[in-house]
Structures are given as C-alpha cells and as structure tokens.
Amino acid sequence: MPKDTSKFYNIEDLRQQAKRNLPHGIFDFINGGAEDGIAVETNRAAYTNLKIKNRVLIDVSKRSTETEIFGKKIAMPYGISPTGAAGLVYYGGEIGLAKAAAKMGVPCTVATNALLPMEEIAEAAGGNLWFQLYMWADKEMSMKFLERVKAAGFDTLIVTVDGPVGPNREYNKKNGFATPLKYTPKLLAQLLVKPNWCYQVLLKQYVNRGEFKKENYPEELERSVLSAKEEMSVVKTDSQCWEDLRKIRDMWKGNLLIKGLQSAEDAVLAADEGLEGVVLSNHGGRYVDCAPAPLQVLAETKAAVGDRLKVIIDSGARRGSDLVKAMALGADMVMSGRPTLFGAAAAYEAGAYRALEIFHTEMDRVMAQLGLNSIDEIGPQIFWNPPEWVPQPAPLLRAAAE
C-alpha cells in the first residue's frame, strides 16, 4: 500500500489504483452504474461539456474556497456522499473517510448500510458528520431508529428516496457479487488473488467483528449480508410516500434533506414539506440508467425553489472545476461518493484525504484562473457558449437586448 499519496495526481489515478487493489467484483460494485452505464457517462459529460472562460488581470491573491452550510464553516463547497461500501475497501474504512473529511474541514455522511456502528464512527472521527437514512418497510422501526441517530449526535439527516425497488446491475450477478452474498468458487477466485485485501478486509473483519453485518440495522433486522433472508420483506420500500417523510419531519428537528430526486417538481414538493435541503442525485448513475445528469436539472431546480431550501448536487464530480461549475449553476454544495472510496481503496485514510486535497487544490487553482476571489463571485458568467439548460448571466442578457 503506497504511503506517499502525492503520486496520485487526480481522482482517476486513485481509481486506477483502486482497481489494482480491489477484488474484481468489489471494484465493479463501486465503479459501476446501472444497466448500460449510460447515466455514469451522462454525469461526466454534463460537466466536461461545459466550457469556462478565464479572466485576466484580476487580483486573486486573497481568494478562498471557504463557505458555509447549515451554519457551519466548510473548507470548500464539497461533502462526502453516503456509501455503504467503505468497510469493503479496508476494515474501518468508514472511520477513515470521516477522519479525512474532518481533517479537510468538510462534511461526511455516514450511511445506514455502513459496516461499522454509527456511534463508533462518530466517536473515532468527530467532525461535521451527517447521517443517511434508508427507510425500512416497518415504518415504526425506522422512527425508532431515528432516536438512535439523534442520540449519536447527528444534526443533519439525509433520507435517500430513489430506491422504491432495487437497481438493475447485471455485472454484480455476473461477478457473483450479489445479496445474499455467497462464497462461490467464482467469488473466492477473485478474492484470493488479492491477498492484501483478504488481510485488510476479510481477516480483520472476521477477527474484530465476525461475519459481515449491516451494523446499524436494529437488532430485529440486523443480519449477516450472507443471510438468505435478505431483501424483499425488510428492504421493500415501494410503498414509501410523502406521508412517511412528514412523520420524519415531525420528529426530526435537525436539518432534514431528501436525496435522489432529479426534478424541480420534486424539489418544490420538498420545500413545501419544510425540508432544509435536497440532494439532486441520480445515485451516481446506479439506478435510472437514462436519467439526466443532476447538473443538467440544477439551474431549473434552483429557479423553482429559490432560497427556500439548500440545493446540493451529487453524481459525477471528479475535478475542482466541477465544483465551480455546479456552484455557478446555483448549487449550495457538491457531494460525491466514489472519489473518496477510490482514495480509501488506494491508500486508506491518507488516500481518502488525498481525494479531498485534489478537489481543494484544483478548485483553488481554477478560481484563480477564472478571476474569482470567493464562492459568492461564482456565477453563470464563467461559462462560454453554454447549452440551453444554463441560465444566461444578467449582463449578457442586457447586452443582447441593447
């Protein structure tokens, strides 16, 4: 495992190292999207197709990427999205991600599906930790679970709502990486060619905790991911509706957000329900394969909700310039899950921190190149020849009208 993370120059370098380190099925599980991978490509293309103009002879010597969200200062407008997978890249990976985020000064979201208990992560890492909730079929159980989240000290809750049914990821089945997890000869063959992974994940997991479990599930549900009693009854969520969210709103007095919407219509409904924010997301292209990129619906969403709630965006950000582009379209913050997972797979906590450092350095550099001193100065004036889903900046409209 490399100690010097400075040789990873960008997120793609971390992804390539993750590919070398992880068993094939685990890498595919993290890297892949749904069905044909179209949404994964759409997410990247939305960012890379937006061209930004430099500006010259502007004093940018006092520039800063700092901003704040929900009353807390953050080093840049970026946070780590929830993923249940950090413990699969190295044992204790959830703590590594959270510590990296705390060191950088950005939020990190702990997932319901984490392989470590939320209390352990919070105690070991501290920092600006948010919690992500998947509601279960038993709604009462979900409500009781929230008491535990509150008691653990989380003040920001993201309810993920884009999975009324499970996703279609055929490669997982082909790789033998599906729930219930079975140690088939095919899976074992992939694991055994990665002895370091077997030591860092399998051995440490079994020595420290026994078989893999979703440690945050209530006792009644807590089960091994090897268990055949998986899915259906417990995680069946196709009856969820706004009424369920209202119950959560009634009991959760902290910041409440939903994640996984892809339309201004749903964001307006969220604002009507009194939520503090939404996370525009297509789950990194892991659910609806022909979904738009959240970036493409960001401006229309922001126009529809204004300042009624925070509009956070995730799915596809890989460069500091992507954070600048999203902020120019009205985002309050950007999130992503894979970059820090790749980082953690490449070099544990230091690798996750390296991913954050790359975002930060790149954002700082591009702000200077664009003549921007602060987050507040970022706006649609940075775009050159933007597509129709980018609002025209006011001065350009004025010039056109004259």
Among 21, 67, 321, 336, binds ligand FMN (CB under 6 A): 336
Residues 64 and 369: their CA atoms lie apart, in Å, by 13
Among 75, 85, 149, 324, binds ligand FMN (CB under 6 A): 85
Task: From residue 71, give the alpha-carbon distance in Å to each of 67, 149, 155, 400.
Answer: 10, 20, 11, 39
Q: Is 281 in the site for ligand FMN (CB under 6 A)?
A: yes
Which residues in 347-386 contact ligand FMN (CB under 6 A)? none
Helical ranges in 33-127 per DSSP H: 38-48, 86-89, 93-104, 118-125
Report, in Å, the least distance between residue 281 CB and ligand FMN: 5
Least Cα distance to 266 among 255, 278, 254, 256 occurs for 278
For the chain, the straight-line distance linking the first and the last C-alpha, in angstroms and rounded, comes to 61
Among 63, 99, 169, 338, binds ligand FMN (CB under 6 A): 338
Contact flags string 122-141 toward ligand FMN, x per CB under 6 A: ----------x---------
Give the relative orientation of helices 24-31 and 11-21 as an angle to the nearest 10 degrees: 150
Among 11, 14, 30, 248, binds ligand FMN (CB under 6 A): 30
Which position has the token pair 């190292």? 17
Which position has the token pair 């055929």? 170
Residues 89 and 196: their CA atoms lie apart, in Å, by 11
Q: Is 190 in the site for ligand FMN (CB under 6 A)?
A: no
Smaller CB separation from ligand FMN, 130 or 371: 130
Report, in Å, the least distance between residue 317 CB and ligand FMN: 6
Among 5, 113, 156, 296, binds ligand FMN (CB under 6 A): 113
339: its two tokens: 């970059």
Burial grade of 337 (CB within 10 A; 0-12, 13-18, 19 or more):
buried
Residues 8 and 69: their CA atoms lie apart, in Å, by 29
36 within 8 A of 289, measured Cβ to Cβ:
yes
Residue nearest to ligand FMN (CB): 284
Nearest-5° Cα angle at 318, 347 to 334 = 105
Q: Is 284 in the site for ligand FMN (CB under 6 A)?
A: yes
Active-site annotation holder among 44, 214, 283, 286? 283
349: its two tokens: 């906590």
Contact flags string 144-183 toward ligand FMN, x per CB under 6 A: ----------------x-----------------------
Q: Is 77 in the site for ligand FMN (CB under 6 A)?
A: no
Smaller CB separation from ligand FMN, 122 or 372: 122
Among 69, 111, 245, 370, binds ligand FMN (CB under 6 A): 111
Active-site residue set: 283
Q: Which residues bind ligand FMN (CB under 6 A)?
A: 29-30, 81-85, 111, 113, 132, 160, 259, 281, 283-284, 314-317, 336-338
